[in-house]
Amino acid sequence: MLDTLRQIETPEGVFLRLRAAGALPRAQAWTIDFVLRMVVLSAAMIPLSLLGSAGMGVGALLMFVLMWAYAVVCEVWFGGQTLGKRAMGLRVVSADGAPVTLVPSVLRNLLRVVDILPGVYAVGLASTLIDPYGRRLGDVIAGTLVIHGGELPAGSQVPTAAPVAPPPGLAADEHAVIVEFAERCAQLTPQRQQELADLLQPLTGCTGEAGVQRLLGYANWLLGRA
Amino acid sequence: MKQERFVALHREEWSELQRWLDLVDTKQRQALRDPRANNFPVEYRRLCHHLALARARGYSREVTDRLQRMVQQGHRLLYRPPAPRWHRALVFLIAGFPRLVRSEWRCMAAAAVLFFAPALFCLIALQFHPEWAHSIFGSAQLAEFEKMYDPARDRIGRSSGTDMAMFGTYVMNNVSIAFRTFASGLVLGVGAVYVLAANGVIIGGVAGHLTQMGYGGPFWRFVAAHAAFELTALVIAGGAGLRLGLTLLAPGRQRRGPAMVAAGWIGAQLALGAFAMLLIAAAIEAFWSSIAWFPDVLKFGSAALLWLLVLGWLWRGGAQAQAEGGDGA
How large is the ipTM?
0.83
Nearest CA in chain A to B50: A14
Residue B65 at interface with chain A, using a CB cutoff of 8 Å? yes
How many C-beta atoms surround the C-beta of residue A200 within 10 A? 20
**Mean pLDDT of all residues belonging to chain A:** 85
User: Cα angle vertex A77, ends A71, A82, to 5°?
Assistant: 35
Q: How many CB pairs under 8 A join A and B?
A: 181
Residue B112's pLDDT is what?
Answer: 92
Residue B92's pLDDT is what?
Answer: 87
* Closest residue to A57, CB basis, from B55, B81, B166: B166
Residue A38's pLDDT is what?
Answer: 92
A5 strand-pairing partners = A19
Measured between beta carbons, which residues in chain B are less than 8 angstroms from residue A93? 76
Distance (Å, rounded) from C-alpha A3 to C-alpha B305? 60
Q: Which among A115, A108, A114 is positioned nearest to B189, based on CA atoms?
A: A114
Give the count of alpha carbons within 13 A of B161, CB side only: 22
Question: Prior bond to A167 cis, omega within 30?
Answer: no
| Residue A50 vs residue B113, higher pLDDT | B113
Rounded to a whole number, what is the distance in Å from the CA of A158 to chain B's nearest CA?
Answer: 10
Q: Do residue B264 and residue A141 have CB atoms under 8 angstroms apart?
A: yes
Measured between beta carbons, which residues in chain A are less than 8 angstroms from residue B4? 223-225
First to last CA, chain B: 50
Ordered by start, the domain boundaries in chain A are 5-148, 172-223
Q: Which among B72, B37, B21, B63 is positioned nearest to A12, based on CA atoms?
A: B72
Nearby residues of A191 by Cβ (< 8 Å), 6 or more positions away? none
Mutate to test the interface with A, among B51, B173, B176, B186 (most CBs of A within 10 A): B186
Report helix, strand or coil for A147.
strand
Report helix, strand or coil for B297.
helix
Residue A150's pLDDT is what?
Answer: 67
Residue A47 burial (C-beta neighbours within 10 Å; 0-12, 13-18, 19+): exposed
Rounded to two decimals, what is the model's pTM? Answer: 0.82
Q: What is the dihedral angle through the alpha carbons of B213, B216, B218, B220, rounded to the nearest 10 degrees?
A: 150
Q: Report, as an integer, the average pLDDT of A90-108.
A: 89
Kindly give the parts of chain B with pLDDT less than 70. Answer: 154-161, 321-329
User: What is the number of H-type helices and E-type strands within chain B?
Assistant: 16, 0
Residue B154's pLDDT is what?
Answer: 67
User: Is-contact A58 B167, C-beta < 8 A?
Assistant: no
Residue A33's pLDDT is what?
Answer: 92
Distance (Å, rounded) from C-alpha A161 to C-alpha A164? 9
DSSP letters for A169-200: ---HHHHHHHHHHHHHGGGS-HHHHHHHHHHT
Q: Which among B272, B65, B42 is positioned nearest to A76, based on CA atoms?
A: B272
Q: Do residue A222 and residue B172 have CB atoms under 8 angstroms apart?
A: no
Residue A1's pLDDT is what?
Answer: 43
Residue B113's pLDDT is what?
Answer: 94
Distance (Å, rounded) from C-alpha B156 to C-alpha B223? 10
pLDDT at A180 over 90: no
Residue B327's pLDDT is what?
Answer: 47
